Amino acid sequence: MVLRPAAPDSGIRFYRSDRNTEIAADWRNAIESPLCTTLTNSKDVSVGTVEHLMAALAGLEVDNVVIELDGPEVPAMDGSAAPFVFLIECAGLTEQDAPRRVIRVLKPVSVGTPGKSAVLAPSDRFAVSFAIDFASSAIRRQELTLSPCAATFKHELSAARTFGFLDEVERMREAGLARGGSLDNAVVIAGDRVLNEEGLRYVDEFVRHKILDAVGDLYLAGAPLLGHFHGTRSGHALNRQLLAALFADRTAWCYANTEQAPAAAVA
């Protein structure tokens, strides 16, 4: 995978070099996919597991970039966004001669079913609140609220790894995902035990990773959001449905420019 600079207002795009096809990082291109976010286009070319990279781009405030891949899935790395953050910071960012365009949430929008929900509410900053509840005593109930600016994202979220139970990992492999999946790139739970010898990176790593996923999924809006996301046991599918509900109501959002923050691209 190679990240290449892109012109102002061109957005984030995935380029499958093996298929000579481009896919915009847009919620309208997201499809139902087990346990990850997958983008596709009219040519039936797809890119899977984009959420951690998208979260890194959101956290580092990268607006314009071309992501070149020679296969159907973003590398798993260690199951978090930290390796992407490290490599992007090593490459450096370039400020562009254009203001950042943001999407301001004007009124509450919500989707969900009993026990699971995703909500966007007006706010003067981007913030994420999340609550999870699992029967396994390795997780139980965890709640957290963060406002993931660049510094907060790097230190409080980026290293939180994806997690799942042994049967979920097997299902992902059957679906052609997580091909290199192992304890090196996920927190794996068997019953009430964390199988990783090194344990957890944060006491509440599970809910932090759910926030990480939400940050990545919401960046498929096409611009940073000014709003407060509230997730209760939500996942990739609900996150996409929430963006669909937001943009379906033209009175629920508007574009705005942040003159104090120019757009940025990977150097």
Residues classed as catalytic: 236
Q: What angle do CA 161, 26, 52 make, to 5 degrees?
A: 10
Write the secondary structure of the chain as one string of H (helix), E (strand) and C (coil): CEEEECCCCCCEEEEECCCCEEEECCHHHEECCCCCCEEECCCCCEEECCHHHHHHHHHCCCCEEEEEECCCECCCCCCCCHHHHHHHHHHCEEEEEEEEEEEEECCCEEEEECCEEEEEEECCCCEEEEEEECCCCCCCEEEEEECCCHHHHHHHHCCCCCEEEHHHHHHHHHCCCCCCCCCCCCEEEECCEECCCCCCCCCCHHHHHHHHHHHHHHHHHCCCEEEEEEEECCCHHHHHHHHHHHHHCCCCEEEEEEEEEEEEEEC
Distance CA 21, CA 16 (A): 5
Q: How big is the chain, counted in residues?
A: 267
170, amino acid identity: E
